[in-house]
Amino acid sequence: MKYLSNKKGFLGVDNKSNIKENVVVVPFGIEKTVSYGSGTSKGPQEIIKASHQVELYDEDLRKEPYKKIGIKTLKPFPIKKKIEDALNQIESINKSLLKNKKFPVVLGGEHSLTAGSIRPFIKKYGKICLLHFDAHADLRNSYNGNKFSHASAIRRCLDNTNVSVISFGIRNISSNEIPFLRKNKKRIKIFWAKDKNKWNLKEFKKAIKNKKVYITFDVDGLDSSLMPATGTPEPGGLFWDETMNILKIASQNSNIVGADINELSPIKGFDSYNFLAAKLTYKIISYSFEFKKLNS
């Protein structure tokens, strides 16, 4: 695998930094099934570019987390044209990274990538709990005739019986998804956005305790006032402090093994949304490693 130089990669740190990488950032700007706004193919490059402006010192953790973690970024590469081939491609990349004991962080690209991205994690760890941030349940069996649609991302993950899902921020679900949700209520737990003021996060802490967790973060899970730069922005979503609290609880009580951040559709001239996605990525990495000793 070929890597970008430190200076050109995620966070843009000095090339003299010679820390052995534990995290590998994978730019994977897949855009095959978008159904409203487009532009997810440009998400990874804009996140990496914006990350060069992210402050390396974390005021919560009181350190520069990257110094002990080590983060490398893969050089951009051509994505296979057919959706099934593209999913096999990201599966192969993550399989190789896991074999080499790396922590993959995939930057999308549309949400369909998750179905391929998590396959090596399931094979390695057996049971995987998917911590899912999204405006949409993504439980459709197919959308516009495509079973690998971004609107079917979580359904395709649940095709594997070893996967369970805890979703936050959901505020869009179709009537044909409801029967599947009811049938699989033991595997799917949704913290609905409409109930934010009544969320019992102690219940979340208990549900995620000691599990192997893969984070999939569709940026439209955030409120559209914070994140309009996505294909299907929705009001009524998560805000920054709420999101950080959920991520911290997850990091302190489970073993996070990988992540993807997806569905950023950059808007020219509005770099703040790219910056938000970059800082979110750094936070996910930092929290995941800060508390690993507690869960090892």
Fold of 24-295: Arginase; Chain A (3.40.800)
Nearest to 191 by CA among 249, 233, 230, 231: 249
Amino acid at 97: L
What tokens does 72 get?
A: 């490398």
pLDDT at position 17: 66
What tokens does 279 get?
A: 């800082």
Asked if residues 24 and 18 have their Cβ atoms less than 8 Å apart, the reply is: no
Buried b (16+ CB within 10 A) or exposed e, 129-140: bbbbbbbbbbbb
pLDDT at position 32: 65
pLDDT per residue as tens digits for the range 185-201? 999 999 999 999 999 99
pTM of the predicted model, to two decimals?
Answer: 0.95
pLDDT per residue as tens digits for the range 219-274? 999 999 999 999 999 999 999 999 999 999 999 999 999 999 999 999 999 999 99
* Look-up of token digits 């959920």: 246
Question: Percentage of the chain surpassing pLDDT 90?
Answer: 88
pLDDT at position 33: 56
pLDDT at position 295: 52
Helix, strand or coil for residue 89? helix
Using alpha carbons, list the distances in angstroms from residue 18 to 9, 67, 72, 118, 239.
14, 9, 11, 29, 35
What tokens does 250 get?
A: 């997850």
Nearest to 129 by CA among 169, 105, 163, 98: 163
For the cut 90, the answer to whether the pLDDT of residue 149 exceeds it is no
Q: What is the H or E stretch that residue 49 is in?
A: helix 43-51
Using alpha carbons, list the distances in angstroms from residue 215 to 17, 22, 64.
28, 17, 22
pLDDT at position 34: 53
